[in-house]
Amino acid sequence: MKLLEYEAKQILAANDIAVPKSYIAGSVPDFLPAVIKSQVPTGGRGKAGGVTIVKTDDEYAAAVAMIKKLPIKGHTPKTLLAEELITINRELYLAILIDKKAVAITLMAHKNGGVEVEENPADSYLRSVVDKTNDFDAVGQQLADYYDLADQAFALQDLVEKLCGAFVKTDALLLEINPLILTKDGDLVAGDCKMELDDAAAFRHPGWHFEAEKAEVNFVTLDQNGTVATIANGAGLAMATVDAVADAGLTPANFLDIGGGASEASVLAAFKRLVQYPNLQVIIINIVAGITRCDEVARAILSARDQLPNLPPLAIRLAGTNYEQAADLLSKSGLVLYSDLATAIASINDKEVA
């Protein structure tokens, strides 16, 4: 799962890593001057016009209105970040990632950071394994020599140590800071942050709630006029669910694989899309939970019932992780649970779906 810049920077800040002062840009500015930044899950925002410096209320309003509507590589932002304007001395590149060949957490650095980073030849980066020895003292010195910043050795050591700590703690796959800004006052600040987390580790992080989760599901409309919508986990089970609905003589509206470790929020988001189908009569939920937890799905079902007045009858089949909690939650609310798909499908016919 790829985080947005502001979400990644919240993680940096929580790990005591310097980030610019910021706020989520609303109708009026909290402070000016500021840099308004589109929060889309892709790089190259600067070049696309998604990063704008504003100094007055009028400039602020104009930039917010423009960037809100500006698609960048097919993404339109839900959130805009406003940051304090930093006076840049140098823009550096620094990333922590997993080197699969070396089976090690590795640092990548380049003297030339910023929007032109693609111009750097791939073999021109400094690479250094950081998790075998955890000798951050040596890594800090190596980086200071490489960047030609002799007086920053300790600051770089401290930064890399904190970045690695955050990387391991959050089960990250990538933590990229570009630019790492050397300010005119000699401070190192994360000007931008791209972070990717390991979805398979979601069960270890009940607090994970990110905008990107909504994009994690695989969703295909099969028939806009279909009467039965489906929610399943795993592509195979989702296809089998669609087939079983069709085999029963019903018309599936969609394919939906909520993936592994789906959260209550992402399942609820799925329900919100399904209730848009004009002829919808039943939603079938078919979850065989491994990393996904039945209780998480159950909570989403209950939230959907609370929040969506046009929610049709549900045919629910749950099995696997935390089934008992889910059964308990749902039965208290008068919802019937089926232990196999065939019975759940048969219950649809009982609901007299055309």
The entry of ligand GDP, Mn ion, none that residue 226 binds, CB within 5 to 8 Å by partner kind: none
Residues 20-49 that bind Mn ion (CB under 5 A): none
Report d(CA 10, CA 6) in Å as an integer.
Answer: 6
192 binds Mn ion (CB under 5 A): yes
176 binds ligand GDP (CB under 6 A): no
User: Helices 294-307 & 323-332, crossing angle to 10 degrees?
Assistant: 20
32 binds ligand GDP (CB under 6 A): no
Does the N-terminal peptide bond of residue 179 adopt cis geometry, omega within 30 degrees of 0? yes
Classify 23 as helix, strand or coil.
strand
Considering beta carbons, is residue 39 or 286 the nearer one to Mn ion?
Answer: 39
Where would I find the beta strands (DSSP E) of the chain? 22-24, 34-38, 51-54, 80-84, 88-99, 104-110, 126-129, 172-183, 188-190, 194-197, 218-221, 228-232, 254-257, 282-289, 314-320, 337-338
Does the N-terminal peptide bond of residue 33 adopt cis geometry, omega within 30 degrees of 0? yes
Considering beta carbons, is residue 91 or 296 the nearer one to ligand GDP?
Answer: 91
41 binds ligand GDP (CB under 6 A): no
261 binds ligand GDP (CB under 6 A): no
178 binds Mn ion (CB under 5 A): yes
83 binds Mn ion (CB under 5 A): no
The number of residues that bind ligand GDP (CB under 6 A) is: 18
How far does Cα 194 stand from its chain's mean position?
A: 11
Considering beta carbons, is residue 83 or 211 the nearer one to ligand GDP?
Answer: 83
**Chosen residue from 29, 77, 114, 252 binding ligand GDP by CB under 6 A:** 114
Report d(CA 177, CA 191) in Å as an integer.
Answer: 7
191 binds ligand GDP (CB under 6 A): yes
176 binds Mn ion (CB under 5 A): no
- To Mn ion, the closest distance from the beta carbon of 193 in angstroms equals 8
Single-letter residue type at 296: E
> Rounded to a whole number, what is the largest CA-CA distance in the chain?
76
The entry of Mn ion, ligand GDP, none that residue 108 binds, CB within 5 to 8 Å by partner kind: none
Report d(CA 67, CA 64) in Å as an integer.
Answer: 5
Residues that bind ligand GDP (CB under 6 A): 35, 37, 43-46, 51, 83, 85-86, 88, 91, 114-115, 178-179, 191-192
Residues that bind Mn ion (CB under 5 A): 178, 192
